[in-house]
Chains A and B, each alone.
Chain A
Amino acid sequence: MTMIPSRFTTSRRALLKSLGASAVLSPFLPILNASGQEPLFPKRLLLFFTPDGTSSIDHGGAQVDWKPVGTETDFTLTATHAPLEPFKSKLVIPWGMRFSAGGAGQEHAFGMSGLWSGATLSGPSGDANFDGGNGNRTGWGSGPSIDQMIAEASGPELPYARPVTDAVQETLYRTLELGVQCSEPDSKHRMIYKAADQPLHPEINPKAAFDRLFGMPIAEPDPQVPDAQVARKRAQLAALMQQTERLRTRVGAQEFEKIDAHLAGLSALDRRLNGTTTTVGCTVPTEAPASSNVRFENSATFQAECTDMMDLVTHAFACDLTRVASVQLSRGFSGIVHSWVGATQGHHTVSHNDGDNRAILTAIDVWYAEQFAYLLAGLDAVQEGDGTMLDNTLVVWGREMAATNHRMQPIPLIMAGSARGGLVTGRFLDRNREPHAKALVSICQLMGLDVNGVGDRDPDSGPLAGLV
């Protein structure tokens, strides 16, 4: 892939020049390093999900061994991860961890809710009573996912320097959740949580996501000419926020979270209108992807939609429209039929007839590794200073279980990118049986969030030894 410029290949001086004298009003100035020199690039976080565990034989059978072979800095990837070979020097593979997850439901459910949160999946309570797989019922996850925690914080080492409540934001979106065919909301299908009992939905329509990111015209700010469209929208939002506050007086206290969330959504829209977007300096995609609004699953369009979403998140990072994102391909209990690698049944079905299906399951795993490689290639093709956007990003590939037989160790978590130099890459670490909450803590710390624990499954675990 040819190198494409990011917004940050433009020097600050050039950016200011292009925006004219009024540029001082532009909120989207690159972060300067301590001596006010040419910009440090922002740190980005990208969480990447693919379904199920690695191939295994049910009930005591062997698992396809994906453990790299070799030493920390001189290792060989197994066949399952062969597509990642070109990026080996930019990977960190902390092999062997066990899931910090549990609670209600079965593994597809509590693994999904615990993957990025390390938090318990709540049991059913009142009307919060959802399908947790195999007849189990669950509530929602009980803690925030690390992407939301990191995005909500602000500081010099974090993706965002400005607090989330600032009227003017560095990027169009604080976080971006994209997905492909993630089905209806229940505990097996949602992995991003703003807080306990607050799952976030991904946008699953590539065209809608594109329009929201790139559909707006590039605006150059001119305070002399108020934008009529913006004024109109802001008048709406002011009225809606006032109405939402009035609704608060008409509901019980147990609903206040819903009121707060609705207000937060309206405020986010309002803030987005308050500044202007400039995508100067980055390559804005001109062709919108096809519109696709699959309510459950459509294997025929799955591949194209995966590609579309990976392209979108790469462009979104390159144009600094967000710095914290997640891409969820399918969901726990996936029914996608990967016919293009020879599967004739849905993924979950294949995963449990695994004695006969080892070859197919491995082929599916390899295909998902190819998707991860494609994602890394896209990020790596964006030049940023002497390095690439991938170098300034931390990408984490996770799944809701370790193995198809529902074992939850060794969790197949793979990291890529150096988080703007914080992570030495090209390493394989044997962290047998360590709780994955430690990795979550390390990710937070790499992203500039000073925590010592994530979630309640293995609270206060501290970071993963030797990772940083």
Chain B
Amino acid sequence: MGSLALLGCQAQIDSPDGTAPATGGSGATAPMAGSAGTAATAGVGGAAAGAPATGGASATGGSGGVGGVGGAGGSAGSTAGTGGTGGLVDPAAECAANAGVLEVGLTRLRRMTRSQFNHTVRDLIGATGTPADALAPDEKVGPFYANAIAPVTDLLVQQHGEVADALAAQAAPRMADIAGCDLVAGGATCATAFVQNFGLKAYRRPLATDEVDQYVALYTTELAAGTPESAFTQVVSTFLQSPFFLYHADVGASGVPSATPVALTAYELASRLSYFLWDTMPDAELFTLASGGTLTDEAVLSAQVDRMIADPKAVDAIPEFHLGWLQIGDLAGLDKDTALFPSWNATLATALRDETARFTDFVVRQGDGLMSTLYTAGFSFLDGPLFGLYGVTQPAGFVPGSQVMLPAGQRSGILTQASLLASHAHRNQTSPVHRGIVVRENMLCQPLDPPPLDVNVTPPEPTPATTTRERFANHEADPQCAGCHVLIDPIGLSFEHYDAIGAYRTTDGPSPVDASGEIIDGGADLAGAFVGAIELGQKLAQSATARDCLANQWFRFALDRIESVDDACSVQTIRDGFAQSGGNVRTLLVAIAKSEAFRNVRAVGVSP
């Protein structure tokens, strides 16, 4: 069909009329951590008034790695890889350069995400459902939701007001419980106690005297015009709109934002912990420890992390980390060719997501906690149509939520889970490029340059006469492509036993599947050819690079930011703790909570 020629990566140098930016090749030939400085050199731009040629992502200033290839098909928007090491090239060396002076990265003021809002109002006032659906959607830091950069908008402030009023009205029947005393009979005493106790939970810290007075005044004024109930809803609605409720604003004990790191207050630490491990506000035990001042004690902190991981509320955070890390997004919205894949529908898509959520939650919270288990486990948690997709017979007496052994030689760990495989595939064929990128960037934290702007990133249509390997052969053959693609395709092609919806197959077009693979230039512990995603998983399971990368990703999830040079000492300590435990994620989470980056805050940025 001649379409193989379209795979040529030759950058189009546009006519010099500025219609599109001319770009050269992909610039750096080794666009990886450690040499990321060279990634900034762009290809040669055209002589036009068009947009300047873009270079690779700069590794300085903690900008993180570059994403993967979006393009035809795929889920909502392009599935971009993330990863890279931010500004960190060699944490040990960068830590040593600090010469013992405490440094941590900048913490931005962040508005609570929609899921944090939903969980928080559930715990604060017993709200049900997902009221945050009425709010505009969240920004991201890396692959994880966090509203760190763009300011709030008029619309969002208005939406928050509407949601708060509705939630307060819905909470009115529970007024006595929430207030903790009888507002009808108890008068001013109860009103004050209500404000103080509720306020502590809403602000996640004790209120100052004038803050209490402000809410009591709101209550009293409304009481005069209305009823105890309307005064109650007035107070609750205001709390739910308060910037002290909506924003994570860590500042330290003095309350004065500092350009050098200061210790978090015990309340701030409690809040960071609970949003990290539970995606919600602290519970009574955390508040008690905070008020007693013992939460900052390392042994107490450690014990709390263990408790919180074991608590059912962690199911709102742990799976979300993995789904974000692996960029398994809106599976139900994935556009798949249902003529080729008649089993693909919303029910199957949900089952895919549930499998990965349940599996990762189990491994981390109840299983052995090991990264290697994530990458190599021979069991998973299947339900409904997933049995059919995997060709597994539902065991007699099967109870949903119980472990299922998977066919050895076909399935082993997260790399062979359909959620990952379907997310990183096109609508009617696999995508060795997406799959290679998610491994390289998300699992190894080795950033890649994006393709030149004018490159055709649309793969040729699959036909019965061609294999995937053949259709993508030009990535290796054409020297302008090979520099980058040698880092991607040999990884992604090892997944060819799994089709575009993650089902296992033994043939690809006219031929038996060739799943040979290699991680080129990935480091010594990843060197060597392998066959198939299962062997790839085994490689990753024992890799220090993969282990350090997973630590990085959890750091980002926990702190709502990309690690920077200033976090070098913390990152090194965290990595060491993770390594010494043999790659135990529970130990990693404790190490993160105990790190300097987690327990201190620098709220003032350096002016550019």
Contact = CB atoms under 8 A, between A and B. Distances in A.
A137 B141 CA distance: 12
A126 B244 contact: no
A252 B151 contact: no
Q: Is chain A's binding surface mostly helix, strand, loop or mixed?
A: loop
Nearest to A344: B337
B233 to A, nearest CB: 9
A278 B164 CA distance: 26
B299 interface: no
A277 interface: no
B490 interface: no
Interface stretch (B47-55, B492-500, B507-515, B588-596): B47-55
A201 B155 contact: yes
Contacts of A297: 76, 333
B152 A258 contact: yes
B50 to A, nearest CB: 7
B151 A258 contact: yes
Given A131-B77, A134-B451, A352-B458, A333 B152 contact: no
A265 B67 contact: no
A60 B15 CA distance: 11
Given A124-B64, A253-B604, A102 B140 contact: no
Given A186-B140, A345-B73, A129 B335 contact: no
A134 B242 contact: no
Contacts of A269: 157-158, 161
Interface string A346-379: 1011001100000000000000000000000000
A409 B19 contact: yes
A235 B71 CA distance: 50
Contacts of A242: 214
Interface string A129-168: 1111111110110000000000000000000000000000
B539 interface: no
Contact of A265 (B6, B18, B156, B562): B156
Given A228-B225, A250-B251, A129 B152 contact: no
Nearest to A134: B70
Interface stretch (B131-139, B310-318, B396-404): B131-139
Interface string A115-129: 000000001111111
A407 to B, nearest CB: 5
Interface stretch (B142-150, B349-357, B387-395): B142-150
B61 A240 contact: no
Contacts of A131: 67, 70, 77-78, 80
A414 to B, nearest CB: 19
Contacts of A258: 109, 111, 151-152
Q: Which residue among B68, B137, B151, B225 has the maximum number of chain A CB atoms within 10 Å of its CB?
A: B151
Contact of B17 (A255, A261, A433): A433
Nearest to B231: A232
B437 A135 contact: yes
Contacts of B604: 252-254
Interface string B551-577: 000000000011010000000000000
A337 B14 CA distance: 31
A443 interface: no
A107 B150 contact: no
A250 B136 CA distance: 26
B149 A239 contact: no
Interface string A246-271: 01011111110110111011101100
A252 B603 contact: yes
A353 B221 CA distance: 65
B6 A243 contact: no
A352 B222 contact: no
Given A183-B76, A265-B158, A352-B458, A236 B150 contact: no
B562 A407 contact: no
Given A103-B51, A188-B77, A409-B17, A236 B234 contact: yes
A171 B448 CA distance: 50
A205 B142 contact: no
Interface stretch (A81-89, A192-200, A312-320, A392-400): A192-200
Interface string A378-409: 00000000000000000000000010001111
Contacts of B251: 250-251
B254 to A, nearest CB: 10
A276 interface: no
Contact of B63 (A129, A132, A183, A185): A129
A110 B450 CA distance: 15
B456 A352 contact: yes
Contacts of A127: 62, 108, 141, 146, 148-149, 561-562
A137 B63 contact: yes
Interface string A215-239: 0000000000000100110011001
A43 interface: no
A101 interface: yes
Nearest to A242: B214
B154 interface: yes
Contacts, number: 295
Interface string A263-295: 011101100000000000000000000000101
A58 interface: yes
B69 A200 contact: no
Contacts of A337: 335
B134 A208 contact: yes
Contact of B57 (A124, A134, A265, A352): A124
A240 B141 contact: no
Interface in A392-430: 402, 406-409
B12 A59 contact: yes
Q: Which residue among B137, B138, B218 has the maximum number of chain A CB atoms within 10 Å of its CB?
A: B137
B218 to A, nearest CB: 6
A128 B449 CA distance: 18
Nearest to B52: A102
B151 A198 contact: yes
Contacts of A135: 66-70, 78, 80-81, 437, 448-451
B237 interface: yes
A185 B137 contact: yes
B158 A189 contact: no
A338 interface: no
A90 B461 CA distance: 44
B249 interface: yes
Contacts of B106: 126, 252, 254
B367 interface: no
A58 B458 contact: yes
Contacts of A198: 150-151, 153
State the 8 A-B residue pairs at the shortest beta-carbon distance, nearest first: A102-B51, A265-B157, A261-B151, A135-B450, A252-B604, A201-B136, A296-B76, A352-B458
Given A186-B139, A261-B153, A293-B134, 19 more contacts: A59-B6, A103-B52, A125-B63, A130-B139, A131-B67, A139-B149, A235-B234, A243-B243, A250-B256, A268-B154, A295-B330, A296-B333, A298-B333, A333-B78, A335-B333, A337-B335, A346-B335, A407-B20, A433-B17
Interface of B: 6, 12, 14, 17-21, 50-52, 54, 57-58, 61-64, 66-73, 75-78, 80-82, 106, 108-109, 111, 133-134, 136-142, 146, 148-159, 161-162, 211, 214-215, 218, 221-222, 225-226, 230, 234, 237-238, 241-244, 247, 249, 251, 255-257, 259, 330, 333, 335, 427, 437, 448-451, 453-454, 456-458, 461, 561-562, 564, 603-605, 607
19 contacts: A59-B12, A98-B17, A135-B66, A184-B77, A185-B138, A197-B150, A198-B153, A212-B158, A235-B218, A236-B238, A239-B218, A243-B243, A253-B605, A254-B605, A262-B152, A335-B76, A345-B335, A349-B335, A406-B20
